[in-house]
Structure 1
Amino acid sequence: MSKTNGTVDPAELQRIVDSHDFLSWLGLAVETAERGSVELTMADDDRFRNPFPGDQGPIHGGITATLVDTASGFVLRTTFDDPLEATLTTTDLDVSYLEPATGNVRIEAEVVRAGGTMGVADVTVSSAHDEGGERTIAVGRATYRLFRDA
């Protein structure tokens, strides 16, 4: 994977998204990626919304949880010598929902710690709102088992 001054080529992580049926269906875009930090975006789409009668509901919480999990995995990949070949798996996922997501979404993930076998990442999910601007709609933390010797 290409790295320059701690920067990871977002296009290389984007290839992971594009080759994965579910992540590509979500339309995730890798905006930035560097060692210990990634930013993803997801465009608003009616397919992701809760079915509220007579009204357009908010984005389903399962989508938000997926975004926290995915961003955590991507940011922890940046701590490997070869992020594209990294082997890791979620061991714990916590999501706190603060407000409904009602528009385009931005996901920012930061590594809290990445050791030899375990990694922890914090994630903030923000969404555009009808009143304008962007608000934090969820925060999350994921713990991953890192297989550095795989």
Structure 2
Amino acid sequence: MKTASGLGFEEFVGDHGYLSWLGVEFDEVAEGRVVMRVPYDEKLMNPETEDSGGSVHGGIAATLVDTSSAFALRTTFDDPSDVSLSTTDLDVKYLRPATSDLVAEAEVVRAGGSMGVTDVTVKSEYEGELVDVAVGATSYRLFR
């Protein structure tokens, strides 16, 4: 089984200001699949109102859709630590508020010679249960 540290993914995140600031972690890395987590942190919350109850900003889920997709696609390269790719399309649909850690499960749908496509589910705790809070898809230009 592949590991995030063995592929240089953790070093990449550590060197990336935004991803490092978010505290991105890897739960699983396999061929064509990555599970990433952003731990709950007050700094990521929307301002709380009487009706909202407080929720993690939707941009964090969108970042996880994009980032987990990129790392999942990296696993399809001969050398995942030395990859060049670029997001060409990002689609996120929000299902309910996220109120705890966010966990993204990214699956490669296709990784061709120059284009890659992924599907992603983002989960979080909501009203005491781990549920889907967002779904997304990406396409990437792959530079092989």
The answer for unaligned runs of 5 or more in structure 2 is: none
Q: Partner of 1:121 in structure 2?
A: 118
Checking the alignment, whether the CA contact within 8 Å between 2:61 and 2:102 is kept in structure 1 is no
Q: Partner of 2:143 in structure 1?
A: 147
C-alpha RMSD over aligned residues: 1.3
Checking the alignment, whether the CA contact within 8 Å between 1:49 and 1:56 is kept in structure 2 is no
Counterpart pick for 2:67 among 64, 67, 70: 70
Aligned partner of residue 30 in structure 1, secondary structure: strand
Aligned partner of residue 76 in structure 2, secondary structure: coil
Q: Is 1:112 matched up with 2:106?
A: no
Q: Partner of 1:103 in structure 2?
A: 100
Aligned-residue identity in percent: 51
Runs of 4 or more off by more than 6 Å in structure 1?
A: none
Structure 1, residues 30-78: CA drift from partner, whole Å, max 9, x if none?
A: 1111110111111111111111346652111111111100001010000
Q: Partner of 2:4 in structure 1?
A: 10
How many residues of Structure 1 are paired with residues of Structure 2 in the alignment?
Answer: 141
Q: What TM-score, normalized to structure 1?
A: 0.89
Aligned partner of residue 81 in structure 2, secondary structure: helix
TM-superposed deviation, 1:123: 0.5
Structure 1, residues 93-134: CA drift from partner, whole Å, max 9, x if none?
A: 0001000111111110000000000000110000012x3220
Q: Is 1:33 matched up with 2:24?
A: no
The answer for unaligned runs of 5 or more in structure 1 is: 1-6
TM-superposed deviation, 1:9: 1.8
